[in-house]
Structure formats: C-alpha cells, structure tokens
Amino acid sequence: MICKVAEYYLCTVKRKNRILEQVTIEDYAAEGRSLARVDGKVVFVEGAVPGDVVDLLLTKSKKDWAEGRPVHFHAYAPDRVDPFCQHFGLCGGCKWQMLPYELQLTYKQREVEQHLKRIGRIDAPHVLPIIGADETRYYRNKLEFTFSNKRFYTRQELAARDARKQEDPEGLPETPEPALGFHVPRVFDKAIDIETCYLQQEPSNAIRNFIRSFSLQQGYSYYDIRAHQGWLRTMIVRLTTTGELMINITFGYDDEPKRRTLFDALLERFPEISTLLYTINPKWNDSIYDLEPQIYFGKGYVTERLNADGRSEGFLFKIGPKSFFQTNTKQAEKLYEVTRSFAKLTGSEILYDLYCGTGSIGIFCSTGARKIIGVETVEEAITDAHENAKMNGIGHASFFAGDVIQVCTDSFFEQHGRPDVVITDPPRAGMHEKLVKKLLEIEAPRIVYVSCNPATQARDLQWLQEKYQIEALQPVDLFPHTHHIENVAALTLR
C-alpha cells in the first residue's frame, strides 16, 4: 500500500523536527486522530490507525502531550484495507478509507461515548448502537470544486521534475499546471487535480473532467489565489435523489462570450443538467453567500425529497444555489426519523425548531405537531423554509429570521405559545450559554438535541442536566470514511 499521507507530509516539511522511530499506534483518540505513548507522553497522530508501526515527525510537543505525523510505515495494522480512491492520502475528504466501515462505526460510537462521559458526565448505557449508512460511496448530494492555477505535486512528481532539470539544466523553466479538484489540507494556494471522486454519483465526475478539458483547450485562466487573478474560481454540483442536477460556476470577473461558449458546450454535452447558474465573485474569499447567483439555464433551483413514514409521497424541498441542506439525503432521512421518534409527538404539541435552517426537520415532523415555530439566523434560509412549507401544504408552520438568542425572548414565547417540544440543531460550536439558560427557564417538557459535534453537545447536555434527564442518545453516521458523526439526544424535564 503506497502511503501518500507520509509522502505529502515529507514534501511539505520546511524545517527539521524530531523524529520518533518505530512507534506503535495504540488506540483511537478522537476527531480522526489516533494516539501512541512514548516515554510516558501521549502523542496524537493523524494519518495512522491503531496497530500501525511508524516513524513520527513531531509537529508540536508539550510537557505531557505531543502531536505528530507519520513519515514512514514499518508495518500496517492488520485491520487495514486498501483505499479505493486514487487520491487517498492527499485529498482530505475521506481520510478513513483504509479502515473497514464496521471499524469506522466502532470508533465513532466510542468517540460519542467518550465525549459524553468525560465532558457531559453522562453514562454510556444511554447511548444506543450507531446507525450506519447503507451506501458508503456516492452518498453526497453536493460537492464544491476549486479551480487553481497551481496543481499540487506529489513527492514522486517533484523528484521526476528535478531529474528532468538535471538532464536539461538549460531547458525552459516549467510553469505550474492548473487543477480542478479539492484544496490540499493546510495548503491554501494549491489544489489536487481530481480525476475520479467516489462521493457523488455520475455525471459529477464526467462534468468536472469535461469542464477541465474544455476550459484548458480554450485557454481559460484558472484562479490564482495569491495574485487574486483568473477567471474560473469554483464550481458547485448538486445532484438530488429526484434526479435533478444543478451546476453553479463562480467566475472572478464577467466575460459573457467565454461564459456562453463554455455553458453552451456544457449543456450540449450534458442535457441532463436541470439548471445552470453562474456567480461573479470579485472578492478575495470564495464565499458566495453575500453574492447573487444568476440563472443561465433552467429554473435556478433543484428539488429534493425526504421520504417519511406515514406520508407516502414524502416531503419536497426547494434547494437554491445558496441553500443549506443535509448533504447525505438517505442518512438525513434516518437522522430525522430518530429526531421525530425522540420528540414523541401526538398531534397536540407546539414544536419549536431552533436553528431550523430551511425548515427540513420541522417539516419532517409536521404531521405530528399542532404548531411549528422555526427560528434561524440566515434570512435566505427562512425564505426557503416558508416556500418549503407551502410546497408541502403545511399551513401550521411559521418561521422567523434572527439570532436564536435574541428572537427567543419571553414575549416571543408568550406570543407564539410555550413549547411542548424543542428541537435544537445548532452549528458545530453548539448552543450559546444564554440559549441554554433560556431553555432551562421555559421548561419545555421535552428537548431533542441534534448535534454534528458530540463534544460541544456533551458540554451543553451537562448544563441542561440541571433540570433535564437524558432519556436516550442515538449516534447516526452521515459521512462514511470520515471521522464526522451526528448524535441525537432525547431529554425530559425532571
């Protein structure tokens, strides 16, 4: 097995650091890292798994702990499997391909339990067995790719280039090649040129490879992040389970003749594209959330469906170029089914959906609630939530834009009714302490906490245990071959 991880780290080291030789990786730690013990010191290691024997490059060393990266593998763990992707070890998207999926689930279950025990002081028996994914490849409905004028070279490629220079020292200097793919972890100005990605169904790969080939043939410039120059910057591909396909390409500046040439060729080659958009981004950063995508072809959005028990046609959701939606549709259905089950709705409850995004969780639970109140910071998401509720014929849901802490005041609860059930789905940072205090004040009989970060969830659960007892905890894996994990907690008022 070729270790591109070690190869990448070797070619990016800029200074001499201490090397620890023949170190056995002992256990899994958290967040995709494993650990070893050397002379009584714990070393957290990226890019290795329990059972590997490696030489470690120390990147940080404190009194009681250190961080390191493998630069040479003496032996591989017996549990390892061959990664299925040619870009494994360079691309940071699927770092656990070398682990069997069942072992990935074991480590994720353990991480949830450890965070809850150490941070939240919650006993592991509350944690139900993790719900894994039926599909561990081609599961994402959204991918974002980067156009870069500098392709990332592997160690072998750099060595081959140096050899060519030695053979022909008077030859013309080699210019960097452009790339269309993903950013290299910790290397902001280069991208990996991705040939085949296993995260999204076709024609995702075919579209990306066609755009690369066509644009280079036409001589279109790729973005230079250092110089802030270049035409092609990023591309978002959304492919829904309904079969609809959205492409949104971001340009550094507008050039209508080139844009028309590119888009007409793309639509001719891929007539299955439902909608094609472009965004002009003259800024230094790549974010498009303060920009306005323009429609070149189609209706400007795609439609996704979440199937739900008791509703044969499922729920439909409008997804625009800037909309947030769970990127693994099939696993989102399982996550929301757990959430609805934990809510124990009977049809008479007032349900508050905090950090509601485009309203997907509240709408999914709508058949069991008398009234739904959703709150979300992003105004565009609230606009989508209203449209999604209307699309699904849900007239008993209301959505409000604003900071959850500022919106959820005593007067707001008095106006819309005190909650019988609160569902909260905060970002990775977890809930603000002020919101936790407000939840403790209003004393909703039931809280369902959906989290994408079990560490911050454990912290918040510890605070909530002042008045709430934990009824159940359910991990759900939405991102196979990564260390990311979702966890749902059911809490009842004491």
Residues marked active site are found at 452
| Residue the block writes with tokens 């994720």 | 108
d(CA 153, CA 150): 9
Tokens matching residue 162:
């140096």
C-alpha separations of 202 from 138, 140, 243, 299, 428 in Å: 9, 11, 11, 21, 30
The strand pair at 142-148 and 65-75 is best described as: unpaired
Residues 6+ apart with CB under 8 A from 201: 138, 239
Judge contact between 141 and 360, C-beta under 8 A.
Answer: no
d(CA 431, CA 437): 10
d(CA 378, CA 407): 13
What own/partner pairs with CB < 8 Å and gap ≥ 24 does 7-13 have? 7/89, 7/154, 7/155, 7/156, 8/89, 8/90, 8/154, 8/155, 8/184, 9/47, 9/57, 9/69, 9/70, 9/71, 10/71, 10/155, 11/153, 11/154, 11/155, 11/158, 12/186, 12/187, 13/57
What own/partner pairs with CB < 8 Å and gap ≥ 24 does 387-394 have? 387/318, 388/315, 388/316, 388/317, 388/318, 388/358, 388/359, 388/360, 388/363, 389/359, 389/363, 391/316, 391/317, 391/318, 392/315, 392/316, 392/363, 392/366, 394/363, 394/366
| Residue the block writes with tokens 């639509």 | 267
